Amino acid sequence: MNKPAAGRRILIYSHDTFGLGHLRRCRAIAHALVEEHKQLSVLILSGSPIIGSFDFRARVDFVRIPGVIKLRNGEYTTLNLHIDIEQTLAMRASIILHTAGIFGPDIFIVDKEPLGLRGEIKETLEMLKQRGTRIVLGLRDVLDEPSLLRPEWRRKNVLPALRHLYDDIWIYGLPQIYDPIADIGLPADVRKKVAFTGYLPRTVPASTPLSGVIERIKEPYVLVTGGGGGDGEALIDWVLSAYECSSPPPWNALLVFGPFMQPELQAQFQERVNKLPRVTAVVFDAYLESLMARAAGVVAMGGYNTFCEILSFDKRAIIVPRRVPRMEQYIRASRFSDLGLVAMLDDTGRRDPAAMATALRRLPQQRLPSEVVIPGLLDGFVNLNRLVAMRLAEGNRAGGVARIGRSR
């Protein structure tokens, strides 16, 4: 494999308007890249309000841009600043542009949103393209239903950027499981830029500290995670109702509410947890991978990172996907369920406690994900590092990327 020359740089953009998924995926990618390429530095641009709660490896750092959140009506508002949303977006765009200009990346990886939040990275894309930066769109395995994604990308005028600004489109999944852009009418010249990597495996580094909650819970336990928690209350409520019924599941349970769950909901759930001797709850743990690695099983909503962890740690899992604001989780859970990798419970709104209790009792009889053979399933970082090495080598042959205040 071609190794990058000293001082090579990758910039990753993540808009982070909701939850933890984008941040955790970008962080995992950054860590895998610096592990393989010893002279590489990676900088993450993120709007996540809790990015500082995570540890980062040497040669990985982040720039926190002002946060925004998406309201239930689809509109955006500032997360902490009491200023107009347009001013916040203007500040974000300026920070992104100037950071990219000074950092001078060899590769710019954009997570999910081709033009960024409301087009905030368009000027940055154009500037970096002129400098010779390799520009990559990184997509998770599922985005949304094609009938909804097609008009969304048309409304955002994504196609010109995909044609003229982006050099590559890397999809962190496999086409035999799902192709997120198969049925949205992309032209052939854009489809030629697509490469599937496989799913991005996760590990628990040896240096990871033992979570304090482990001392408070008896093993074996089932880990119940609502992701970031902003919309995880239905899952938590359903699991708690199963433990409150007359024939509760045989497992101990560890509930992770998520840092974005509303405080009043956290308090209500904690009050219920306090009455259940075999249930423990925490709001947030930055080392969720270590909790999952020790768990006997998992109950989760079905975001991309959760699936990667379930596969990586070979855990039997029950997935309760959401259907709004996107069908992403439902599509992913359905495909994985059809393949026998997980069990799925569809939340129709009734949330029968007995149904959840039964699913939990059946969990030990499920097949392990490793018993289902899918070639290349967890080759994501092998292929991602190979693609990065190829692009950096091309940059070497082309003379590199011009940087402000730095000659090459």
**Is-contact 137 39, C-beta < 8 A?**
no
Burial class (CB in 10 A: 0-12, 13-18, 19+), 207: exposed
Fill in the amino acid letter for 119. Answer: G
Place of tokens 């808009």: 15
What whole-number distance in Å separates Cα of residue 117 and Cα of residue 264?
Answer: 30
pLDDT by residue, tens only, the chain of 408 residues: 444 445 899 999 998 766 788 999 999 999 999 999 999 999 999 999 889 989 999 999 999 999 887 765 566 778 778 888 899 999 999 999 999 999 999 999 999 999 999 999 999 999 999 999 999 999 999 999 999 999 999 999 999 999 999 999 999 999 999 999 999 999 999 999 999 999 999 998 777 776 778 777 877 999 999 888 888 999 999 999 999 998 899 889 999 999 989 999 999 999 999 999 999 999 998 888 899 999 999 999 999 999 999 999 999 999 999 998 889 999 999 999 999 999 999 998 889 999 999 999 999 999 999 999 999 999 999 999 999 999 999 976 555 555 554 433
Contact (CB, 8 A) for 13 and 403:
no
Dump the DSSP string for 355-405.
Answer: HHHHHHHHGGGSPPGGGS--TTTT-HHHHHHHHHHHHHHHHHHHT---BTT
Residues 6+ apart with CB under 8 A from 171: 139, 140, 141, 179, 180, 181, 194, 195, 196, 197
Spatial distance between the Cα atoms of 240 and 244, rounded to a whole number of angstroms: 6
Reported pTM = 0.92
- pLDDT value for 228: 85
Please give the Cα distance from 175 to 29 (Å, whole number). 20
Residue appearing with tokens 């509109």: 75
What letter would DSSP give residue 56? -
Q: Assign 9 to helix, strand or coil.
A: strand
Contact yes or no for 364/316 (Cβ under 8 A): yes
Q: Find how far residue 185's CA is from the centre of its chain.
A: 25
Q: How many CB atoms lie within 10 A of CB 24?
A: 24
- The structure tokens 């092998």 sit at 382
For the chain, list the domains and their CATH numbers.
8-201+378-398 (3.40.50.2000), 212-371 (3.40.50.2000)
Q: How far is CA 268 from CA 45, 237, 264, in A?
A: 35, 10, 6
**pLDDT reported for residue 1:** 40
Locate tokens 């590199």: which residue?
Answer: 400
Report, in angstroms and rounded to the nearest whole number, the Rg of the chain calculated over CA atoms.
21
- The one-character DSSP state at 125 is H
pLDDT of residue 398: 54
DSSP state letters, 192-261: TTEEE---------TTPPPPGGGGGSPSSEEEEE-TTSTT-HHHHHHHHHHHHSSS--SSEEEEE--TTS
- Give how far Cα 22 sits from Cα of 44, 47, 192, 306, 376, Å: 11, 10, 25, 12, 23
Question: Contact at 8 Å (CB) between 400 and 106?
Answer: yes
Do 49 and 67 touch, CB atoms closer than 8 A?
yes
Give the dihedral sign, CA 156/162/165/169: positive
